[in-house]
Chain A
């Protein structure tokens, strides 16, 4: 089974709420990622962290705020979201760039913004 866990699995929030998504990996990886998957669209990379440092921000709105306190944990803090932000948010981990970089995904958080 997956070595990447995500909580919560489902989240419904209003546009004025603040919530956080959590991801934890048990694979000994040093790179972690946030992706967004909307219906009928390919996975969209949001953020990349290598050795706890953010190395990629794919033009993500500031209402999404990532945090990586250590190589095993990744958070996505959400505030004042819009209904179009409703999607499946997937966390992944891998070895860092320059090595075997297959990414392993968590089960995702299905987010609904009302």
Chain B
């Protein structure tokens, strides 16, 4: 089983749509979770950290379910500029190390 699994997509959605991405992780000791965004031929950039209580940043909402080892990202009112690959990222050994494990990413294409 992969340490971090994501649906690779692509997700093709119209502008204004709501889209949700899911991610599962295998290491129950993981403590830190992130969503990164990667544009084509660019470096990954931190989109948001994911907290146990869930957190929201504008149109983006992240949720964490520790019992199911599941992370989600919800994007509301999609914009053309949201088109990118979204990477689910997990700290592999809790907070004691800074080794991050990346999923393969989910490709989002927002259509006009």
A interface list, Cβ under 8 A from B: 2, 31, 33, 40-43, 45, 48, 50, 55-56, 90, 94, 96-98, 101-108
Contacts and interface: CB of A to CB of B under 8 A. Distances in A.
Contacts of B98: 31, 33, 48, 50, 94, 96-97, 101, 103
Contact of B96 (A94, A97, A105, A108): A97
Main secondary structure of the interface of A (DSSP, over half): loop
Main secondary structure of the interface of B (DSSP, over half): strand
B26 interface: no
B44 A97 contact: no
A10 to B, nearest CB: 11
Interface stretch (B14-22, B75-83, B101-109): B101-109
A56 B99 CA distance: 8
B44 A102 contact: no
A105 to B, nearest CB: 4
Contacts of B100: 45, 101, 103
Given A42-B4, A43-B102, A45-B100, A105 B95 contact: no
Contact of A48 (B87, B99, B103): B99
Contact of B103 (A42, A96, A98): A42
Contacts of A108: 43
A42 B97 CA distance: 20
B95 A102 contact: no
B49 interface: yes
Interface centre among B91, B95, B98, B105 (most CB of A within 10 A): B98
Contacts of B1: none
Given A42-B4, A97-B95, A106 B102 contact: no
